[in-house]
């Protein structure tokens, strides 16, 4: 599926409670203080809800950056 970038961005901003200017399309876990392994659970869960998808156990462990997540959605969703 083609991932609507603004929908993807809004979902990440909401999930991580990012302040304005903190979002970058190439963020990865640990780049901002809000995105640690705990917040990562919310990111995965919120993306699933937003895009109607379901990550497998392996995906949950390996998808740790926005480009990876975006690619996965495009490939799988």
Partner 1 sequence: MTRDVVLLGDKTLSLLARHLNAELRQAGSAWNVIDAGYDSWLVAPLDPRSALFAKATAAWAFVLSPRVLENVPDILAQLDATLERLGSLSAPPTVLFSNLFADPLHAMPLANNLERHALAASVNERLLSFRETHSWFHVVDQLGLVLQHGIDALHDPRFEATAQVYYSPAGTRALAALWLRALRCLERPQKKVCVLDLDNTLWGGTLGEDGADGLQMSDSGPGLAYRRFQRALLELRRSGILLTLCSKNNRDEALAVLESHPDCLLRPADFAHLEISWDRKSQAITRTAQALGLGLDSLLFVDDSALERAEVARLLPEVDIFDFPDDPVRLVGALAAYPGFDTLRQTEEDRKRADAYLEEAQRNASRASATSAEDFYRSLELRLTIFSAAGEQAARLHQLLMKTNQFNLTAERLSAEEFRALLADPAYLVLGMRVADRFGDSGITGLALVDRRRPAAWIVQNFLLSCRVIGRTVENAFLAWIVGVAARAGAQSVAFRCLETPRNEVARNFLRSSGGVESAGSWKFDVRRPEALPQHFVSIDAAQVS
Helices (H), ranges, the chain = 5-16, 37-51, 57-62, 66-76
Under rule CB under 8 A, residue 37 binds partner 1: yes
| Binding residues for partner 1, total number by CB under 8 A | 15
Binding characters for partner 1, 38-67, by CB under 8 A (x = yes):
xx-xx-xxx--x-----xxx--xx------
Residue 28 in contact with residue 65, Cβ under 8 Å? yes
Nearer Cβ to partner 1 (22/42):
42
Q: Which stretch binds partner 1 (CB under 8 A): 3-11, 24-32, 36-44, 69-77?
A: 36-44
CA distance 5 to 10: 9
Give the SS3 label for residue 69: helix
**The total number of residues written for the chain in this structure:** 77
Q: What is the contact surface with partner 1 in residues (CB under 8 A)?
A: 17, 37-39, 41-42, 44-46, 49, 55-57, 60-61
């Amino acid at each position: 599926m083609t991932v609507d970038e603004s929908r993807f961005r809004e979902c990440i901003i909401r999930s991580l409670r990012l302040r304005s200017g903190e979002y970058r399309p190439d963020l990865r876990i640990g780049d901002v203080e809000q995105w640690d392994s705990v917040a990562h659970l919310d990111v995965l869960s919120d993306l699933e809800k937003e895009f109607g998808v379901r990550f497998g156990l392996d995906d949950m462990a390996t998808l740790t950056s926005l480009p990876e997540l975006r690619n996965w959605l495009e490939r799988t969703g």
